[in-house]
Structure 1
Amino acid sequence: MNKVELKTSWLDFLSSQDFSHAITFKPNDANFTKSVAALHRLFVKAHMLIQRRLIGRGFNLTQNRARQTPALGIVEGSLLTGHIHGAFKVAPEDWAKFEGLFAEEKRRGPDRNIWRTLVASGTCVVEPIYGAKGWHSYTLKDVWQTDDTDRVVMLPLSA
């Protein structure tokens, strides 16, 4: 399989996953090392916090696995400008609650902005995904230029 076929296959696969929301997570912290591994860890932590708020403390129990929110994180940028493009498949009945998890005005307390909980100076933008193929093509652009698919992480991780 050549590079073009691989890219097309990835785009077809990701577009078929019916992700409902896109989030761009930016650390905006000069002291934070924006390596691929560090950004992956932040995305995994953000996903865990999302699951905890949407499902509850037992989000990872076997009986709750079917309720979890599938997610895809793609690291983009250099060590200076690194950020994450996230795609989430949120159940329609949870859309408002999910979007509220990242509200800027919620900086303190148990309902504070999830991204600000992890990176105090961080910013994020949440948007519904309307054109899946175009969105995934945009977020995967660096992966195909540098040929490092380790920039991609899919959640939830296997139990």
Structure 2
Amino acid sequence: MARAQGLDLVEVAPNARPPVAKMLDYGRFKYEQSKREREGRRRQKGASLHQVKMRPNIGKHDMEAKARTAARLLRNGDKVKISIMFRGREITHRDIGQERIYEMLETLEQNEVPTVIEKPISTEGRFMSVIVAEDKPKAKAMADARAAAAAEAGEAAG
């Protein structure tokens, strides 16, 4: 019957009792199945990891610029790897590297980007790094508080 119509007999659920088979064009079926998989992969948005590199003797303004970049990436839902790159004998002053990382995290908090540490500070070769992501519940609470304050200020003015 399937051959007469130019279709294939495809077993859809082999584990079912009785097994289920469909009459369909197998080439078209495979094409539509791969198309659905591609569409599903495209819609799946995994948080990508971006890196912000700096040196232990970074200046204040440069640190703020790097923090703004990290804040933008975190707000977009990406994870950020904050790395301190040591050169030469700087590696003996790891405490300074840790201070810079904590300064960066404080600057992010001041820019109203709450963070959660996903991977604690670790040293790999001449790099000291930490991986952070946006703390979504805390960010939502901050946004709600800002909206409430704005509404209250609007009522007081009106």
Question: Which is bigger in relative contact order (C-alpha 8 A, separation at least 6)?
Answer: 1
Provide TM-score, normalisation by structure 1: 0.29
Provide TM-score, normalisation by structure 2: 0.29
